[in-house]
Amino acid sequence: MSIFYDGCFENEEWRLNHLYFIATKSQGVIRFKMNKHQLKMYRGLHTRNAVLKARQLGMSTFTSILFLDRCIFNNGTSAGIIDRTADEAEEKIAKIKLAYECWQNPPDNAYDHVKDPEDREKLKMFTQNLLLHGVQASFTKSSVDFTNGSKIRSGLTLRGQ
């Protein structure tokens, strides 16, 4: 593997900004890249985080992608999303499902952000090597179960099991 990608597998911030895709209203499916609000939250995370009334800052998208990444790369991880309505909670699982499916079947524009053809091929190879990591997911409307023992749940309330 290229020295350009050495250490990226272990670098969560790099993975978040390079490996996942989201749907937008105006641009369709695009690569996720943390905005300044998401980056500030990411760098200040602790064990319990609450985001109150953060409209249009992308916090629900950020937490959805973060939970997906942590569940894939950390065996036995549990994550929970509490939302205002059941429909809104299910929308977060749908975001996670889209990002997971795009990781396995990247959209046509997946590598357009990499201008150098050699680096584009290296990123494609790197992504394929990550797929060999082999964590599979099964989805319901309100949860995701991973083959490595990780799980994401969403709902109006969450209780330990």
DSSP E strand boundaries for 12-65 = 21-24, 28-31
pLDDT of the residue at 1: 36
pLDDT at position 85 over 80: yes
Query: pLDDT tens-digit profile of 50-63?
Result: 777 667 788 889 99
pLDDT at position 161 over 70: no
Burial of 76 (0-12, 13-18, 19+ CB in 10 A): exposed
Can you give the pTM of this predicted structure? 0.85
What mean pLDDT comes out for the span 62-81? Answer: 93
Q: How far apart are CA 60 and CA 144, in angstroms?
A: 16
Provide φ and ψ at 126, rounded to 5°: -60, -45
| Residue 102 CA from chain centroid, whole number | 10
| Cross-strand partners of 139 | 144
Helices 36-43 and 59-73 pack at an angle, to 10 degrees, of 50
Q: How far apart are CA 131 and CA 135, in angstroms?
A: 8
pLDDT at position 15 over 60: yes
